[in-house]
Amino acid sequence: MSALLDLLMGIFRQQTLGGAALELAALAAPLWVAALVGLLIGWAWRPRWAGVVVGDNAHQAAQLPAHPPPARATAAAEEKDGGPSWIHMMERTLPTMRYQAWRRDPPNGPPQYRSSTIFEDASPEVVRDFFWDDEFRIKNSWDDMLLQHETLEECTKTGTMVVRWVRKFPFFCSDREYIIGRRIWASGKTFYCVTKGVPCSSVPRQNKPRRVDLYYSSWCIRPVESRKGDGAMTACEVLLFHHEDMGIPWEIAKLGVRQGMWGCVKRIEPGLRAYQVARTVGEPISKCAAMAHVTTKFNADELNTEDNTKASSSNNNMEIEKPKHWANNIPKVLMIGGAVALACTFDGGLLTKAVIFGTARRFAGPGRR
């Protein structure tokens, strides 16, 4: 310690300010190099036990359900799923959009996010097509991290699709590959959209791009009353529940989301308005958007009634159940009954963008404050 103090005092005894600055830079350079190397290693490496936590064994991943389970609609977004408490992250308002976001930290998994986004003068049908339209994501560049997309499988009877995405990451990380199964259920004008990572033997795993196995993004898209005060249901709310593991330490991921999420979210609104214009002038819809029209119909009220009846019966019988791990709620809460909406497309992707570039800005510019 005394040697370090002597070195610092020697630096500040330099005759010129420039000389002192050069000496300080030479002293700090090894520290910055060490910090950068540590950051890169942390991104590229995970301990073996993390694979068990986040489900690296892709062959064990569950497929999308054939029928909506009897679960409470939008339970996770409305804080009714019995999971950990939610932390409010942000609230923003634009002339034609309102946005709120929350985060919670499960004990044995990556951070989970939920959000509510309300678009004025937008129908649930168009918003549904907008988020499903991979071609428009690239054409319009509102999701400018999507490099490639292709449809691997599709069912024209149920609307189920398996798609492959490759998403752009900054130079210090390899790009990420997603194999996503997705399907839409509909109850009246409310749409429950489920997207999740699924195994696919026809696409071999590669070192680059790095595959993301744990991915879940569920959206509830529904009409709501406009804030114009006329009582008309001309606004559309998108509720989101999302989590994924991109191979980045979770604390760094949370830092990136906090710093960069709004910059990503606000790009969605002009993208949606451009999509509305394209539909108004009669531009043909893409194959992906056409598949969004193939939905599985169900009655959400009947499912909710069934859930309430079962819960009441269970209470009357005084059955005592052991507390359930949060992960046990995921299939029930999110596979449609508990699906929630892609407010900002934390979607298989803009969350990714916020994590990476938000973190990069945080580390690159700490001296600006």
Region 46-75: mean pLDDT is 42
pLDDT at position 79 is: 62
**187-242: pLDDT as tens digits:** 999 999 999 999 999 999 999 999 999 999 999 999 999 999 899 999 999 999 99
Separation between Cα atoms, residue 44 and residue 38, nearest integer Å: 10
Paired residues of 239 in beta bridges: 116, 220
Q: What is the DSSP letter of 91?
A: E
Choice between 63 and 125, residue whose per-residue pLDDT is larger:
125
89-103, 224-238, 339-353, range with the lowest pLDDT: 339-353
pLDDT of 58 > 50? The answer is: no
Separation between Cα atoms, residue 25 and residue 22, nearest integer Å: 5
Q: What is the DSSP letter of 60?
A: G
Give the closest residue to 239 by CA, choosing from 127, 85, 140, 135.
Answer: 127
37 pLDDT band (50/70/90 cuts)?
A: very low
43-47, 62-66, 152-156, range with the lowest pLDDT: 43-47
pLDDT at position 205 is: 95
333 pLDDT band (50/70/90 cuts)?
A: very low
pLDDT of 338 > 50? The answer is: no
Separation between Cα atoms, residue 9 and residue 16, nearest integer Å: 14
Q: Which amino acid type is present at position 293?
A: H
Q: DSSP alpha helices (H): ranges in the chain?
A: 2-12, 17-44, 48-54, 124-132, 134-140, 250-265, 268-280, 287-291, 300-316, 326-334, 350-364
Would the pTM count as exceeding 0.75? no
Choice between 152 and 4, residue whose per-residue pLDDT is larger:
152
Give the closest residue to 151 by CA, choosing from 284, 296, 288.
Answer: 288
